[in-house]
Structure 1
């Protein structure tokens, strides 16, 4: 199956509301409609012929310290795993860090599970971008919904408000 990429601003119907607002003034963000049953990275890559090292995942992390929970998004290539308990925990100065519960991630982002993306996240969330991803010319990420994907450059991700480039993978 072939992906038909168009500027994301032309197909806001394929984006979660917070994502549509975020991309409204952005250049170089494209969207393609997909089968929502194939939104998970491995199934998507296999069906649409996208390599895992051309696809990236957004992981929502809940960091806790002193009774306070803060959230962050971590972006890594699909070939890598986020070091939540080491690198991310230390970077966020948390006593404990873990993947955010699915219901919390969905409610706080206004996006569908399996489609969460750094574009359109709450303004106070850090966006931690793995150094390997930051240099990528074009990568496929979520669109906020399971029925489409976005294509962006690593530079687009590192240019987001509150984005920080660090080595995230273990």
Structure 2
């Protein structure tokens, strides 16, 4: 993963835009602040609102993508297959409300070669999940 300024995303390419979801992790450290890490899950057809909603949820001045090597090491998942299932316990997972409203969602499985399909409402019951209205545009 590269910083947000490069506009490179590290989530997997959608298998079906109507059912797929994006997962991304951000780490934020603005000045002398304590670093805060979160993951976000949004519809594949939308973009996470990093500069407003996610940044405010983390209560920081600036949010950026976590470096790819660090994300892979800390999650023990493959680049391009990182999923909200099985993330470190201290990582909150912000989920756009539209994901939870979807009948079915397809998310990463931790490796690039497979996906998980589950009811959207099930995502809200994953550990550390906080459903946020307007997380994506």
Tell me which structure has the larger Cα radius of gyration. 1
TM-score per shorter chain, which class? 0.7 to 0.9
CA distance in 1 between partners of 2:73 and 2:34 (Å): 18
Which of 22, 29, 33 matches 1:57? 22
Q: Which residue of 1 aligns with 2:82?
A: 116
CA contact (8 A) 2:124 2:131 kept: yes
Answering whether residue 115 of structure 2 is matched by residue 160 of structure 1, we say: no
Kindly report which structure 2 residues correspond to 1:18-167, keeping only aligned pairs within 5 A, or say none: 40-42=12-14, 45=15, 50=16, 52-65=17-30, 66-166=32-132, 167=134
SS in structure 1 of the partner of residue 29 of structure 2: strand
- Unaligned 5+ residue runs, structure 1? 1-38
Shift, 1:126, TM fit:
0.7
TM-score by length of 1: 0.69
TM-score with structure 2 length normalisation?
A: 0.85
Taking the aligned partners of 2:91 and 2:128, their CA distance within structure 1 comes to 7
The two structures, once aligned, show a CA RMSD in angstroms of 1.5
Structure 2: how far apart are the matches of 1:154 and 1:63?
Answer: 28
Select the structure that is richer in helix. 1
- Pairwise CA distance, 1:134: 1.0
| Structure 2 gap segments, 5+ residues each | 1-10
